[in-house]
Structures are given as structure tokens and as C-alpha cells.
A and B are shown apart, each in its own frame.
Chain A
């Protein structure tokens, strides 16, 4: 295969632990009640259009986008709306949620529920974007940025490449891997739809070399369309980051503070491509996704097809229960995921995995003074100096932090992972980003 491509600056290689890589996607039964947070996407939370007592069908619109960067939400089940009330979500705070009591599973008539592969794309570019927007599709890699916004490049900018992110560089997670293996045909059609929407002629699927079966499978399928190319990438975290993936695939560098469109690229996740296929060809809005439930002590590490709003507890039960030795329940992967405080936390569009971490491995190191080994600087994929930014954030020297580009930090956690002194570098970087972001916003307001 020759020399594998990867990004240049920094990066780490944590133990992969892809325990559930061989577990086929399995649909979990529809729960008795779902709780659907209204703030599932990046940007403004959606506005509910149902009220208490309303009957809803699976796939029916229950909350609409509230602003440009926002997304529609569709009912993942059929039943009665119990109430719209506060409930704890992944943010750790109580947010408005729609509670639906499940009665049967009656789908909206317009949804095509057959498994037949629809390869003919009848919609025009604008119609595709409109359909993607109506279907409430957001980036399923975890950032949950509304996909339709990405498909509408700002005036004067033209996309040249569509890059499909099949990297899945987070340890443990395998949902994208399974999608590529089981839904490869649909993904290829989804990519063709995205290319049509963006009016691009070149697409690249980037996959890390620890998923050779997926690389081979998709390479085989992509032979039918010479515009789509699959490339194998060297295993290195955080290759799944947009900027790192563009650097690895095309050797182009996104300028600081700019979006990938600046270098003619649009990056979409593998699962997003599948969701686009379903929305455009099957008229099925985004109301279910594949979630990996894994962990070293989990009896049955699995990949589940889950309706949005199912509680985390239900998924853990489906994976043969919560092990005694669990120290932390993490929503997402071990590097960028977030520990949840309540097991009732509902699954949202951005949940790619539930990781049950052992007590022993989830404990943090005792914080010791910095020994100036500069490892954090070496591994930073954005070329920042985490030790300096941390210090600036701690002391409230926001001007220094801003000058040293703290806002370029992608919060990948490589610095904290590698720090031998156990300093919570990422925590302070996030704190600095919060403070500097606030300062910048007040400055703009003035």
C-alpha cells in the first residue's frame, strides 16, 4: 500500500481498544418512553411545535429549526406527547425536552421503509439541500453542526473536494466502522447525493488503516464511480478532526479561524452520508442512529441502532448491564467524550458511543508541577503551546492566551493524554477558550 498518509503536526496513538468492531449493528427495541432534548445541534435550540396530549407518528416533525444554524427534530416514535419539561441532557444541565409516551410504532406514510437500494438521484442540487435541512440532519461525528449549512458554501466560495470522514480515530468507538461494512452501498449513493448538492466532481473517503476490511469493501464499491476515491490513512489521533483530515488527504492547510471551504473542501461524516441517503432517497428524517456501547468490563460490547431519546440506561441494559467495576459512563469516546452524571440521560443525534470506563482506568493522575518536557507542544496537532496557554488561562492573562491562538485549540486532549505530570491541560484550555470567547464576543458587541 506504500507509505500511508497522515497529518504532519503532533498527534498521539492511544490504545485502540475497538472491542465492538465485530459486533453487527443490532436494533434495540423501541423504549416505553422517549425524552427528546430540544438542543441537540450546534447553534440555537429547536422550537417545539407539538404540545401536551398531541398524537405523533414516527418521523413527524415535532420541533423546527430556530434560526440559520439550527435543525429540525422529528419524533423517533409514535405515541402521545406527555409534556414539555426540563430534563438533564449530555450538557449536564436540565434543558427543555419533549417527553413522548410510546404507543405502537406507526411510521409517517411518506417514509419508504423498504430495504431496496435507490441509486437514481432525481432531485436537483437545491432540492437536496432543502430536503437535508427539512430532515434535521446534523454532523453525526459528534460536533452536530447542521449539514445543510455546510452544503451551502458562502457566496464566492466554491467547493472542490468532498471529503468523507471514515477515520473514527477515537479509541473504542466502532459505529462508523460498522456502518461502512454494513451500509456501504447506501453510503456511496449518499456521497453521490452530497457531491450533486455541492456541485463537486471529486470525493475522497479517508479511512484509518486499522479498518482494512472497511477500506477494501468501500474501494470495491467505489469502483462503479471513478469520482470517488478511498484512501487509507496511518492510525493517528486526532485524524478525525476536519483540519487534520484535510491535511492528511490533500496536504492543504486550513488557515487559523477559517472553515475548510477556504481551501475548497467540505468534510462530512460517514454516518451523515448515510443519513443523507435515507433522507433524500427514502424520505426518512434523522431520528435514529448507530451507537457503540463498549468498555473493557462490558459483557457484550455492541453497536446498536437506537431511536433518539432512548435513555442511556436502556442501552446499557441491552449490552448486558452495567459492570460492577464501572467508574465513569462517558458519552462519546475516551478522548473527547463527556462523562454523564445521570444514567437516564437521553441519546441525542451527536451520541456516537457510550463508554463504560473501569474505575482503575478512569481515575486521573495526581496533578504535579510542570517539568517542562514539552511533550504537550510536540503532540499538539494545531501547533499550539498547551503549557503556556494553560498557565495564561489559569492566571487570567487572556490577552496572552488570545495572542497565542487559544481559539485554534480543537480540544482533542492529546496534550493532557501525554502529560507525564498529570496536569489537567485540556480543562484549563477549555476554561481559557470560554473566557477568551466571552471577551471576543463583548468586544464585537461594542
Chain B
């Protein structure tokens, strides 16, 4: 009897030993060296796996940063839009590099063709998908450039930063936006654009993407950009360009002087998060700007006084004057 137990134990023990030797050999032979910094960087990232950085997930981004730090000694071109400057600073510290502060961005809806501004002429019945409706027809209001209101951007957002406003039928971006670019890619009409958040969240943009001539565009929507170029003439900083009857404000050149907003005949240019206007005579003098700072050639937007955008959640982004 003892014999049987002995045989069994020695046989299994021997097998275990042989397997252990093989496993040890294989483990040492095929060992993959992985920089421990990758794990460190990954743990510092927000783990949203949104792809906003252009890499498939946070792990891939961490690998890219480590490789870039080793080979190029810099993190240029790599940015986590979700974590923003804060996270990038931490990543820089782990990798022993200085990281330049990036201007915070936000998604902006460039259409104001709400149910009141562009009343529905036909009724859409079908799949709730902008991509499908875009392939089918111009839109309920008749504008073939404007928002279809079927919320593909809302579906694409991983951060609950876009919601549809049932009254206007348009999406609205809130302060949770991380500028990850997902909604920009989801919109079949290219209405959403990433723009600078601006100092104290102040922004000015043309809320229209209609490239038709003025008259046919105005027929479908009363707040369309008609390409009249009044804003271009009013702008002292060359920030406004007009291509195919549509004005565009370059946010790098814009000084937020709000002159274009005043001259726009269709209210297509929006100002966001500004204080209510003072009497007209005062705001028109070029020496005084709204934010109280003197207007200079240097764009005010580079002066980022706001590092924690999350603190201002109660402010609506898409408020009209």
C-alpha cells in the first residue's frame, strides 16, 4: 500500500517538476520587456478609452507617449483631450519631460435652425439616425446644411456632454465636454467644430454652415449666414473669412471684440457667456473691450485665465444674447 502512495506522489511530483522546469525555461526565453512606465502612465490617464487622442484606447496612448519620450525626448503632438493639461502634466512628470500647456477646447454647434427659426415643412418618419436621414433628404426645415436633430452626436458622446433640447430640436453642449472629437466625426453634416473655450468661457462663432446664396438660404431659415460680408468689414483683426456665402471666424485671430455680432443682420453670429451689453455708444469705442482688458494685436484668447472649466457647470454654453 505504501508503495502505491509513494509511486503516485513521486510520479505527480516528477511531472510537476518537469513542467516547472519547462515553464521556467519558456518564461525566461520568451520574456517580453515592457517599460514599467507604460503602466504608470496608463494609471494616470482617465481610462475613458474614447479614442479622442487618436489612439485605440488609453493603453495605446500610454505606449505612444513612452516611445515618444524615449525616442524624441518630447511629447509634441500627443495630447489627452479628456484629461487636459492636468493629466498631461502628470504624464510629463512620470516621463521626466516638460509639457506645454494646451489651450482648452470645446465642441460648438454651428447651427441655430431651431423649430422656430426654421419651421418644419415636411415631417420625417423613419430611423432615428442623422447619417440615414442625411442620405435621404435635406431636412425638415428645408436647409440641406443644417442640423437634422436626430442626435447622432448625443449617441457618440461618451461624457454626457451633449443633449438634445426638445424645444429647439437642436443639440446643446455643456461643460462636461472634453473636446474628444467624437461628435465632430459623428455629425454627417460637419456642423460641430472644436473651438477654443476662450477666456472665462467667452466665445464668438458663426452659428451656421449654410453655403447657399443669401436669398434661398433665408427662405428656409431666418438666422442663416447670408454671406453679406458686413462682419468681415467690421472685423479689425482679419479674423473673418467668407467662402461660398458663409462667414467663418478664426478663433486664433479673434479678440472677442463683439463688433461682428452687432453688425450681423441675421443674428447668425453668436456670443457666448458675455456680460449683458452696456449702452451701445460705449461698447463701440475700440479702446474698451468687454472683458475690461485693452484690445491689442495679441489675441486675448491665449491668456487662459480658466484652468478648471468644471467649476462653471451652471452656465449654459449655447445661450443666445
Residue ranges of A at the interface with B (Cβ–Cβ < 8 Å): 86, 88, 91-94, 338-339, 341, 363-364, 394, 424, 427-428, 430-431, 434-435
In the assembled complex, the CB of B101 is this many whole angstroms from the nearest CB of chain A, namely 35
Can you report 29 residue pairs joining A to B where beta carbons are below 8 Å apart? A88-B138, A91-B137, A92-B136, A92-B138, A92-B144, A93-B137, A93-B138, A93-B144, A94-B144, A94-B212, A338-B136, A341-B137, A341-B138, A341-B142, A363-B125, A364-B125, A424-B127, A427-B126, A427-B129, A428-B129, A428-B132, A431-B127, A431-B129, A431-B131, A431-B135, A434-B131, A434-B132, A434-B135, A435-B131
Quick one: given A94-B212, A364-B125, A364-B126, are A427 and B132 in contact (CB under 8 Å)?
A: yes
Residue ranges of B at the interface with A (Cβ–Cβ < 8 Å): 121-122, 125-127, 129, 131-132, 135-138, 142, 144, 212, 216
A-chain residues with CB within 8 Å of residue B122 when the two chains form the complex:
339, 341
In the assembled complex, the CB of A396 is this many whole angstroms from the nearest CB of chain B, namely 9
Q: In whole angstroms, how far apart are the Cα atoms of A91 and B139 in the complex?
A: 12
B-chain residues with CB within 8 Å of residue A428 when the two chains form the complex:
127, 129, 132
CB–CB A430/B132 < 8 A: yes
Which of B121, B132, B212: most chain A Cβ within 10 A? B132
B-chain residues with CB within 8 Å of residue A394 when the two chains form the complex:
129
Which of B137, B144, B212, B216: most chain A Cβ within 10 A? B137
A-chain residues with CB within 8 Å of residue B125 when the two chains form the complex:
363-364
CB–CB B138/A94 < 8 A: yes
Q: In whole angstroms, how far apart are the Cα atoms of A424 and B128 in the complex?
A: 10
B-chain residues with CB within 8 Å of residue A427 when the two chains form the complex:
126-127, 129, 132
Which of B127, B131, B132, B216: most chain A Cβ within 10 A? B127
Quick one: given A94-B144, A364-B126, A424-B126, are A430 and B121 in contact (CB under 8 Å)?
A: no
Q: In whole angstroms, how far apart are the Cα atoms of A76 and B121 in the complex?
A: 31
In the assembled complex, the CB of A109 is this many whole angstroms from the nearest CB of chain B, namely 39
Q: In whole angstroms, how far apart are the Cα atoms of A363 and B122 in the complex?
A: 13
Q: Which residue of A lies closest to B188 (CB)?
A: A434
Which of A94, A427, A434: most chain B Cβ within 10 A? A427
CB–CB A431/B132 < 8 A: yes
CB–CB A430/B135 < 8 A: yes
In the assembled complex, the CB of B152 is this many whole angstroms from the nearest CB of chain A, namely 10
Q: Contacts A92-B144, A427-B129 known; list 13 others, CB within 8 Å.
A: A88-B138, A93-B137, A93-B144, A94-B138, A94-B144, A94-B216, A341-B138, A341-B142, A424-B127, A427-B126, A430-B132, A431-B132, A431-B135
B-chain residues with CB within 8 Å of residue A431 when the two chains form the complex:
127, 129, 131-132, 135
B-chain residues with CB within 8 Å of residue A338 when the two chains form the complex:
136
Contact partner of A341 (CB less than 8 A), chosen from B121, B127, B132, B135, is B121
Q: In whole angstroms, how far apart are the Cα atoms of A339 and B135 in the complex?
A: 13
In the assembled complex, the CB of A329 is this many whole angstroms from the nearest CB of chain B, namely 10
A-chain residues with CB within 8 Å of residue B142 when the two chains form the complex:
341
In the assembled complex, the CB of A39 is this many whole angstroms from the nearest CB of chain B, namely 15
In the assembled complex, the CB of B251 is this many whole angstroms from the nearest CB of chain A, namely 30
A-chain residues with CB within 8 Å of residue B137 when the two chains form the complex:
91-93, 341
Q: In whole angstroms, how far apart are the Cα atoms of A343 and B132 in the complex?
A: 22
Q: In whole angstroms, how far apart are the Cα atoms of A338 and B124 in the complex?
A: 12
A-chain residues with CB within 8 Å of residue B126 when the two chains form the complex:
364, 424, 427
In the assembled complex, the CB of A84 is this many whole angstroms from the nearest CB of chain B, namely 14
Q: In whole angstroms, how far apart are the Cα atoms of A177 and B216 in the complex?
A: 41
Q: In whole angstroms, how far apart are the Cα atoms of A419 and B122 in the complex?
A: 25
Q: In whole angstroms, how far apart are the Cα atoms of A86 and B122 in the complex?
A: 20
In the assembled complex, the CB of A413 is this many whole angstroms from the nearest CB of chain B, namely 12
B-chain residues with CB within 8 Å of residue A88 when the two chains form the complex:
138
B-chain residues with CB within 8 Å of residue A424 when the two chains form the complex:
126-127
Q: In whole angstroms, how far apart are the Cα atoms of A434 and B142 in the complex?
A: 22
In the assembled complex, the CB of B123 is this many whole angstroms from the nearest CB of chain A, namely 9
B-chain residues with CB within 8 Å of residue A434 when the two chains form the complex:
131-132, 135
B-chain residues with CB within 8 Å of residue A91 when the two chains form the complex:
137
In the assembled complex, the CB of B128 is this many whole angstroms from the nearest CB of chain A, namely 9
A-chain residues with CB within 8 Å of residue B212 when the two chains form the complex:
86, 94
Q: In whole angstroms, how far apart are the Cα atoms of A91 and B135 in the complex?
A: 8
Q: Which residue of B lies closest to A423 (CB)?
A: B127
A-chain residues with CB within 8 Å of residue B121 when the two chains form the complex:
341
Q: Which residue of A lies closest to B130 (CB)?
A: A431
Q: In whole angstroms, how far apart are the Cα atoms of A126 and B65 in the complex?
A: 64
Q: In whole angstroms, how far apart are the Cα atoms of A180 and B151 in the complex?
A: 48
In the assembled complex, the CB of A276 is this many whole angstroms from the nearest CB of chain B, namely 32
Q: In whole angstroms, how far apart are the Cα atoms of A338 and B133 in the complex?
A: 12
Q: In whole angstroms, how far apart are the Cα atoms of A86 and B212 in the complex?
A: 9
CB–CB A86/B131 < 8 A: no
B-chain residues with CB within 8 Å of residue A86 when the two chains form the complex:
212, 216
B-chain residues with CB within 8 Å of residue A94 when the two chains form the complex:
138, 144, 212, 216
Q: In whole angstroms, how far apart are the Cα atoms of A54 and B122 in the complex?
A: 36
Top 4 A-B residue pairs of the complex, sorted by shortest distance between their CB atoms:
A92-B137, A427-B127, A431-B132, A341-B122
A-chain residues with CB within 8 Å of residue B129 when the two chains form the complex:
394, 427-428, 431
In the assembled complex, the CB of B175 is this many whole angstroms from the nearest CB of chain A, namely 27
Q: In whole angstroms, how far apart are the Cα atoms of A92 and B135 in the complex?
A: 9
In the assembled complex, the CB of A255 is this many whole angstroms from the nearest CB of chain B, namely 27
In the assembled complex, the CB of B133 is this many whole angstroms from the nearest CB of chain A, namely 9
Q: In whole angstroms, how far apart are the Cα atoms of A86 and B132 in the complex?
A: 23
Q: In whole angstroms, how far apart are the Cα atoms of A88 and B144 in the complex?
A: 10
Q: In whole angstroms, how far apart are the Cα atoms of A91 and B142 in the complex?
A: 13
In the assembled complex, the CB of A1 is this many whole angstroms from the nearest CB of chain B, namely 41
A-chain residues with CB within 8 Å of residue B132 when the two chains form the complex:
427-428, 430-431, 434
B-chain residues with CB within 8 Å of residue A364 when the two chains form the complex:
125-126
B-chain residues with CB within 8 Å of residue A93 when the two chains form the complex:
137-138, 144
A-chain residues with CB within 8 Å of residue B136 when the two chains form the complex:
92, 338
A-chain residues with CB within 8 Å of residue B127 when the two chains form the complex:
424, 427-428, 431
Q: Which residue of A lies closest to B144 (CB)?
A: A93
Q: In whole angstroms, how far apart are the Cα atoms of A232 and B60 in the complex?
A: 62
Q: In whole angstroms, how far apart are the Cα atoms of A94 and B210 in the complex?
A: 12
In the assembled complex, the CB of A113 is this many whole angstroms from the nearest CB of chain B, namely 39
Q: In whole angstroms, how far apart are the Cα atoms of A339 and B133 in the complex?
A: 12
Q: In whole angstroms, how far apart are the Cα atoms of A93 and B220 in the complex?
A: 13
Q: In whole angstroms, how far apart are the Cα atoms of A16 and B126 in the complex?
A: 24
In the assembled complex, the CB of B105 is this many whole angstroms from the nearest CB of chain A, namely 25
In the assembled complex, the CB of B45 is this many whole angstroms from the nearest CB of chain A, namely 24
Q: Which residue of A lies closest to B136 (CB)?
A: A92
In the assembled complex, the CB of B124 is this many whole angstroms from the nearest CB of chain A, namely 9
In the assembled complex, the CB of A332 is this many whole angstroms from the nearest CB of chain B, namely 14
A-chain residues with CB within 8 Å of residue B135 when the two chains form the complex:
430-431, 434
Q: In whole angstroms, how far apart are the Cα atoms of A428 and B150 in the complex?
A: 14
Q: Which residue of A lies closest to B121 (CB)?
A: A341
In the assembled complex, the CB of A64 is this many whole angstroms from the nearest CB of chain B, namely 26
